Amino acid sequence: MRIDKSARIDPTANIASDVHIGPFAIVGPRVSIDAHTHIGAYTIIEQNTVIGSHNRISPHVVLGADPQDKKYAGEESFLRIGHHNTIREFSTVHRGTQGGTTTIGDHNLLMAYCHIAHDAEVGSNCTFANGATIGGHVVVASNATLGGLCAVHQFCRIGIHAMLAGGSMLVQDLPPYLMAQGDRARLCGINRVGLRRADFTRERIDDLHRAYKRLFLGSFSRAREEMRTAPCSREVDIMLSFIDTSKRGVCKARR
């Protein structure tokens, strides 16, 4: 364990071996940090935060701060961060509200100035480019990508392997495997590059492309009814299930 002498550690914090804590960092009450995690200088971890192993937290990050929610009245709430994440400088991740928990999975990259709000759920292997912001109760599934300076309205969902382009404003759900861009973001096709990088075969990508065209570039209701009874690939089933369970509605396609 290497803790700079200028750092401040609450006596109730649980710090594992081989954790590095840089100058002037502050670790608050009931914080747990697992082995081989690096906490940068001036970083603040406020309270009720669990951080797994092999994470790299850059300087000036704030984790576990009070939620920015007018309903919050000081109730105990939590933040849980998995393993092998990289959180770059000046990013902020807040605890849940009304006893809730904000969760981040494993192997995620949050570039500088990102914000994850209260009660959000982020899967694993996600990339948040500089300045990406998600509101309260947002769900971001694994392998999703958020471009720089994009924003996601509270309670929205982003599906697995989806991509939200830089500068976009998402106010409805973004289905799995698809791309969206623009103010009040609209769908602009499947995330073909991301799927290739994830080793999807050409056949699986083409199948998703056909499903996208049927659902979003034709008659959605008719295509959805036809696809309910026809045999579909696993990926198309995941997309259809996501659409069926949407509460905010899904993005419309750009024509």
Q: Which residues are catalytic?
A: 118-119, 136
Is residue 135 a contact partner of residue 69, using CB atoms and an 8 Å limit? no
DSSP 229: H
Closest residue by Cα to residue 158 from 131, 126, 114: 126
Q: What is the 3-state secondary structure (H, E, C) of 203-225?
A: HHHHHHHHHHHHHHCCCHHHHHH
- Tell me the CA distances in angstroms from 166 to 129, 142, 150, one per residue in order: 8, 18, 5
Total residues found in the chain within this entry: 255
Query: In which residue are the tokens 């710090």 written?
Result: 15
**Interior CA angle at 75 toward 70 and 76, to 5°?**
130
DSSP 88: -
- Tell me the CA distances in angstroms from 13 to 27, 41, 46, one per residue in order: 7, 18, 10
Please report the DSSP string for 139-169 in residue order.
Answer: EE-TT-EE-TT-EE-TT-EE-TT-EE-TT-E
